[in-house]
Amino acid sequence: MAQLTLRELGEILLEFQDRETPGVLDTGSLDVVFQDLGYDSLALLQTTGRIQREYGVELDRDGVASAETPRALLDLVNTTLTGATA
């Protein structure tokens, strides 16, 4: 099963950003809070919805709510994807 990469997450987030110059996702921003990168709760809700549709998984709501950084969201998604194939 495919894993969500930082690049793919960044591309999805860019579609739903709410400012002209969104924060760029790279390895240096893995632990920066989404809000500090310029992504609000609506952008994250849209992002997780798209991930669920594209990857065919159901993400835990509490896990999504507590995933405040790109690293945390990637870990949640990829752990869920791994569990879906087991």
Predicted pLDDT at 20: 62
45: left (phi over 0), alpha (psi -120 to 50) or beta: alpha
> Closest Cα partner for 84 from 50, 53, 59?
59
pLDDT tens string 61-80? 999 999 999 999 999 999 99
The whole-angstrom separation of Cα 66 and Cα 50 is 18
Predicted pLDDT at 83: 86
Q: Which fold has domain 6-85?
A: 1.10.1200
Query: Which two structure tokens, joined as six digits, stand for 73?
Result: 């969201």
pLDDT tens string 2-32? 899 999 999 898 888 766 655 668 889 999 9
pLDDT tens string 24-53? 688 899 999 999 888 888 989 999 999 999
The whole-angstrom separation of Cα 4 and Cα 75 is 9
